[in-house]
Amino acid sequence: MKALAARRHHRSAPVVLLLLALLVTGGLYAALVPSSAGAAEATARDIEYGSELFQANCATCHGMNAEGTQDAPSLIGVGAASVDFQVSTGRMPMEANGPQALAKPPQLTDEQVAALAAYVASLGYGPAIPTAEQVDPAEGDPANGMQLFRTNCAMCHNAVGAGGALSEGKFAPALWDSTPTVIYEAMVTGPQAMPVFNDANLTPEEKRDVISYILAQRDGSPGGIELGALGPVSEGMWAWIVGIGLLVACSVWIGAKSS
Amino acid sequence: MTTTIERGAAAGADYLDQRTGIGAAVKSFARKVFPDHWSFLLGEVALYSFVVLLISGVFLTLFFVPSMAEIHYEGPWAAMQGVEMSEAYASTLRLSFEVRGGLLMRQVHHWAALIFMASIVTHMMRVFFTGAFRKPRELNWLVGFVLMILGLAAGFSGYSLPDDVLSGNGLRITDGVVRAIPIIGSYLSYFIFGGEFPGQDLIPRLFTVHVLLVPALILALIVVHLLMVVIHKHTQYPGSGRTDQNVVGFPLFPVYVAKAGGFFFIVFGVIALMAATMQINPVWNYGPFDPSIVSAGAQPDWYMLFLEGSLRLMPGAGTEWVIGGYTLSLNVLIPAVVIPGILFSLLALYPFVEAFVTRDTGEHHVLDRPRNRPFRTAFGVAVLTAFFVLLVAGANDLIAAHFYMSLNDLTRIFRVLFFVAPVVAFILTKRICLSLQRKDRELVLHGHETGRIVRFAHGEYIEVHRPLDEHERWLRVAYEPEHPLEIAPPVDSRGVRRKGYRLDKVRQRMSQAFFEDRIEPVTPAELAAAHSHGAHDELEGGSHVASPRELEGSAPGGGRTIAEPADGSTPDARNR
C-alpha cells in the first residue's frame, strides 16, 4: 500500500487512473448491456450476408450504410425486431409509396430476414427479436390482456383486433393472421403510425398477456358467424340483406299464391 | 254425421256466444274482405317481429339484473376472470354463457329488434310511395310515425342495458347531445343520469323505460293502428274493377287467417334462423363499460346510425360559440337535433302538406302508382337519400379501412353528398316517373311491340303492335292527374283586397312546384282515335292500298306502327 501511496503524486497517475476508469466503464458496459439475442448469435458471416442483402434491397432508400435519406429513415439503432417485423410481413421492401406500407407476401426467405436483421442490429443497439417463451400465448393471462388491449389497442385495432381506420388513408391492420412474434415486435418497435409500447409502458409479461388475448380471439366466439366482428354496421347490413330479403321473398311468395 | 270433437267445439262456441255475444263480431269480421298484395305484408312483418320481441324479452327479464353495482366476474369466460364490472353486464354474460338457451334468446331478441325497425321503415316507404296516407288515413300515418319513434326509443334503451363499452359510448354521445341543448342541457343531463355521467341510476331507469313504458305505449298504439285499418278498410292497388267505393279481395276467414297465421311462423322462423347462425352484439368482446375507452368501429345499431353519421359529418371548428360565459355547441346541436328534427318533421307532416297543396277533400282507397305522382315519389326518394348518406357516413371509418380510402376525403365527400345527392335524386326520380308515364301513354295508344315485321307486296315494311287488353289499359289510364291550382285574383270586382289571398298564393306556388310537370293519362277520345287508325289498317290489310300517311304512327324515332287484332286467335289477314 505504501508503494502505491508514494506514487500517487507521480505525474503519470492521472493518465493511468483515467485509463483504468475507462477500462472499468467499458468492461461493465460490455458485461451489463442487454445484448440483443439475434446479434449475440449472429456470426460475422451472417452480418456479411445481411450487408449484401441490404445493399441489394434496402440501400436505395435507406442509404448505403443505413444512415437514411430524405425518402426513408435511418435504420441505425432500430434493432433486429424492427427488421424482422417489416421484412417478414412483406411491408419492406416497400412496393409503392402510399399512406402506409402494405403487408404482402414476404420477398426474402427466413434465413435472409435473419441475416438482414443481424446486419441492422450490428449497426447499433435496438430491440431484439423476442424469444419463443416471451411470446408464448399459453403463458399469458387473457383476462389481463383483455383489459390492456381495450385500454391501449382497441381504439385503433377494434375490440377484437379486426382493424380500423386512421387519418388520411392510414389504417390499423386486422390482427387475425399476425404471429405472436410479429405482434410483440410491433408493440416494441411501433411501426408506421403505431406508437411504441416500451418495457416501461407495457412490461414483457403484459405484452404476453395482450398476445394471449389476441390469439384467444381466433378460437372463434359463441353465437354463430361473426360477420367480420365489425359491430352493429355489419349486423344492420345483414339484417337488411338476409332478414328483410328473406321476409320480402316470403311475402311475395304468399302474395302470389292466391292470384 | 258429426263427430264428438265437432259437437264439443260447437258446444264451446255456443257457451261463449251466449255469454259474450262474440258470434256476431266473429261473423262480420270473418267475412271482411281484404285486398291482396305482397307489400301489404310488410306491416305484418313489423307486428310479428314485435310479438317475437315480447316473447324473447320476457325470457331475458327472468335473468337480467338491472343494476350498476360493481362486482368481480366469476364464470366460464376466461377473458373476463376477476374483471370488475356492473351486475347488469355480469348478468348479460351469465345469460350468454350459463343460462340454457340464453344466448339464442338474446340473439333472437336483438335480430328481431333490427328486423322490427327495418320492416317499419319498409312498410312506411310502401305507404308513402303509394299515397296510402291520404284522406281518411292521415291520422293513422301519424300513429305509425309515432310507432316508429317509439321503436327507436325501445331499440336505443334496450341496446344500452348490457352496460358494455359499445353501448356506454352511445350513452356518452346521448349525454353530450342532451348537454348541447341551450340553457337546460346540463340540468337535464344530471336529471337523466341522476348525477354526473354515468352515475348509478341509469341502467335501472332504462330498464323501466325498456320493459314497461315503451312496450306498453307501442302495444296500445298498435291496437289503435290496426283498429283504424279495420275502420278505414284496407287500401287496394289500382286495377280493373277497383274503385274508391269497393274492396276487391278475399274474406279474412279462411284465406287471410291461414296466410297471416302462417306468416307469423315464417317471420319467427327467419329471425330464429338468423339468431341461431349469425352472431349479434357479442358484449363479451367489448368488455364492461369504462368511460375512458372507445374501440375502433364504435357505432350504434343501424336505425340510429344516421345520427352518428350526422355528428361525424359536422365540422367542429368554429361551430362552438361561447356567449357571455355560456357555451353554445352548434357542432352537436345542429347534427343531432336540428337535422334529424327537420327530416322527421318532413316525414310526419307530409300528408298534411300534400292535402294543403291539392285542396283534395275526397276519400281515397285506391293507391297511387308511384310514377303517377312524380313530385311525391321524387320527394320521398330525396329524403331517403339524405338519410342514406348520413347512414353511410356513420360507417365512414369501416369504409375507409376496408376499401383503403382516406377517412378525411370520405368525410369531405359525404359532406358534399348530403346536400347534392338529395337534389340529384329528386331530379332523376322525377324524370324517371315522367318517362314511365310517357311509356304508359305510348303503350295504351299503340300497344305492345310484338317483334313481328311485315312486308307488303309493294315492298314496304311495318311493325305489328298488339293492343293492350282491358286490364292492362285500366291500370294505365285510371288515375286523375293533379293540376296546379287556379286561384281567385287578389282584389274583387270592386277593387277590395280579398282575405286569404296570401295563403292562396303560397298554395298556388307549392302546387305549381308539385304538379307543373305532369303527363296526362290517355283520354277515351285519344284512345278511340288511335284505335280507329289501327282498325283501318286491319280492314285494308289484305290488299293493301292505304296511303303511307295513314300508317304513320307516333312511335319513338318516327317509325311506322300498325295494330295487331286484339284477339290473338284470329288469323292475321296480312299473312294469308
Tell me which of B339, B368, B397 is where a domain ends. Answer: B368
Please name the residues in contact with A151: beta carbons below 8 A apart, sequence gap of 6 or more: B292, B293
Q: Is residue B422 part of a domain?
A: no
Whether A227 has its CB under 8 Å from any CB of chain B: the answer is yes
pLDDT in tens, B18-63: 888 888 888 888 888 888 889 999 999 999 999 999 999 999 999 9
pLDDT tier at A157, thresholds 50, 70, 90: very high
Considering the domain architecture, whether residues B449 and B362 belong to the same structural domain is answered as no
% of residues, chain B, pLDDT over 70: 92
| Domain final residue pick, B343, B368, B393 | B368
Residues 6+ positions from B210 with CB-CB distance below 8 Å: B154, B157, B158, B161
Average pLDDT, chain B: 87
Q: Do A221 and B79 touch (CB under 8 A)?
A: no
B552 assigned to some structural domain: yes
Both B110 and B240 in a single domain? yes
Phi, psi of B76 (to 5 degrees): -75, -15
Q: Which of B345, B368, B391 is the last residue of a domain?
A: B368
Cell of B502: 296570401
pLDDT digits (tens, 9 = 90+) for B419-469: 999 999 999 999 999 999 999 999 999 889 888 999 999 999 988 888 888
Any domain includes B431: no
Q: Rounded mean pLDDT of B556-567? A: 45
Instruction: Specify whether the CB–CB gap between B93 and B115 falls below 8 A.
Output: no
Three cell numbers written together for A167: 387519418
In a domain, B100, yes or no: yes
Q: Quick check: B539 pLDDT over 60?
A: no
**Residue B114, min C-alpha distance to chain A (Å):** 6
Distance from the first to the final alpha carbon of chain B:
64
Residue B256: pLDDT over 70: yes
Q: Which letter, b or e, does each residue of B235-267 get, where b requires 16 or more Cβ atoms within 10 Å of its Cβ? A: bbbbbeebeeeeebbeebeebbeebbeebbebb
Q: Looking at chain A, which residue has its C-alpha nearest residue B259?
A: A254
pLDDT of residue B544: 40
- Name the 3-class secondary structure at B271: helix
φ/ψ of residue B87, rounded to 5: -65, -30
B323 in the same domain as B181: yes
Give the mean model confidence (pLDDT) for residues B354-374: 91
Based on the structure, what is the number of domains in chain B? 2
pLDDT at A42 over 80: no
Query: Does A238 have pLDDT greater than 90?
Result: yes
Cis preceding-peptide flag for B548 (omega within 30 of 0)? no
Q: What is the 3-state secondary structure (H, E, C) of A139-201?
A: HCCHHHHHHHHHHHCHHHHCCCCCCEECHHHCEECCCCCCCHHHHHHHHHHCCCCCCCCCCCC
Q: Round to the nearest angstrom and report the end-to-end CA distance of chain A.
A: 120
Helix, strand, or coil here: B362? coil
Give residue B538's pLDDT.
Answer: 45
Chain B residue with minimum CA distance to A145: B79
Whether residue A250 and residue B36 make contact (CB cut-off 8 A), yes or no, is no
Cell of B145: 310515425
Residue B85 in this model has a pLDDT that exceeds 60 = yes
Q: Which of B245, B289, B253 is nearest to B68 (CA)?
A: B289
CATH number for position B59: 1.20.810.10
User: Of A178-187, B116-125, B245-254, B331-340, which gets the smallest average pLDDT?
Assistant: B245-254
What's the pLDDT band for B547 if we cut at 50, 70, 90?
Answer: very low
Q: Do both B168 and B72 map to the same domain?
A: yes
Most confidently predicted of A228-232, B299-303, B355-359: B299-303
What's residue A257's pLDDT? 55
Residue B421: inside a domain: no
CB contact under 8 A, B79 and A143: yes
Show the cell assigned to B521: 293519362
Cα-Cα-Cα-Cα torsion B508, B509, B513, B519, nearest 10 degrees, comes to: 30
Residues B114-142: what's their mean pLDDT?
Answer: 95
Q: What does the block give as the cell for B179?
A: 348537454
* Same domain, yes or no: B69 and B216: yes
The C-alpha atoms of residue B295 and residue B439 are separated, in whole angstroms, by 53
B127 is a domain residue: yes
For residues B263 and B105, give the distance between their C-alpha atoms in angstroms, rounded to a whole number: 21
In the predicted model, what is the mean pLDDT of residues B215-222? 96
Q: Is the per-residue pLDDT at B405 higher than 50?
A: yes
B191 with B308, same domain? yes
Q: Which residues contact B249 (CB under 8 A, 6 or more apart)?
A: B33, B34, B35, B36, B234, B236
Mutual orientation of helices B257-277 and B102-129 as an angle, nearest 10°?
130
Res. B536 pLDDT band, cuts 50 70 90 = very low
Of A147, A227, A252, the CB nearest to B278: A227
Q: How far is A173 from chain B (nearest CA, A)?
A: 8
pLDDT at B537 over 80: no
Residue range A182-209: mean pLDDT, rounded: 91
Per-residue confidence (pLDDT) for residue B556, from 0 to 100? 43
pLDDT band at B111 (very low <50, low <70, confident <90, very high): very high
In a domain, B291, yes or no: no
Is B115–A244 a contact, with Cβ atoms under 8 angstroms apart? yes
Q: Are residues B236 and B340 in the same domain?
A: yes
Mean pLDDT of B167-194: 92
Please judge whether B115 and A255 are an interchain contact, meaning their C-beta atoms are less than 8 angstroms apart.
Answer: no
**Among B256-260, B278-282, B530-534, the range of highest mean pLDDT:** B278-282
Q: Give the model's confidence band at B240: pLDDT under 50 very low, under 70 low, under 90 confident, else very high.
A: confident
| B535: containing domain | 441-575
Is the pLDDT reported for residue B557 higher than 80? no
Residue B208 and residue B113 share a domain: yes
Mean pLDDT of B193-207: 90
Q: Closest chain A residue to B108 measured between Cα atoms?
A: A223
CA distances to A136, B6, B9, B473 from B3, rounded to whole Å, are: 75, 5, 10, 52
Closest to B123 measured CA to CA, from A164, A84, A248, A250: A248
Q: How confident is the model at residue A46 (pLDDT cuts 50, 70, 90)?
A: confident
Instruction: For residues B182-194, give the mean pLDDT.
Output: 91
Residue B306 near residue B340 (C-beta atoms within 8 A): yes
Structural domain includes residue B226 = yes
Instruction: Give the per-residue pLDDT at B576.
Output: 33
- Does residue B355 share a domain with residue B495? no
* Crossing angle between the packed helical segments B339-358 and B138-160, to the nearest 10 degrees: 170
- Range among A214-218, A254-258, B76-80, B365-369 rated most confident: B365-369
* pLDDT at B271 > cutoff 80: yes
pLDDT number for residue A134: 87
**For chain A, which domains are there?**
37-123 (1.10.760.10), 137-219 (1.10.760.10)
Q: What is the DSSP string of B384-419?
A: HHHHHHHHHHTTHHHHHHHTT--HHHHHHHHHHHHH
Q: For residue B271, list chain A residues with Cβ-Cβ distance below 8 A.
A: 243
Nearest to B408 among A168, A233, A244 (CB): A168
| Residue B459 DSSP one-character state | S
pLDDT, residue B573, reads: 39
Q: What is the structure's pLDDT at B227? A: 93
Is the Cβ–Cβ distance between B354 and B511 less than 8 Å? Answer: no
- Selecting from B79, B285, B406 the residue whose C-beta is nearest the C-beta of A168 gives B406
CA distance B499 to B477: 39
The rounded distance, in Å, linking the Cα atoms of B425 and B379 is: 9
Same domain for B196 and B343, yes or no, is yes
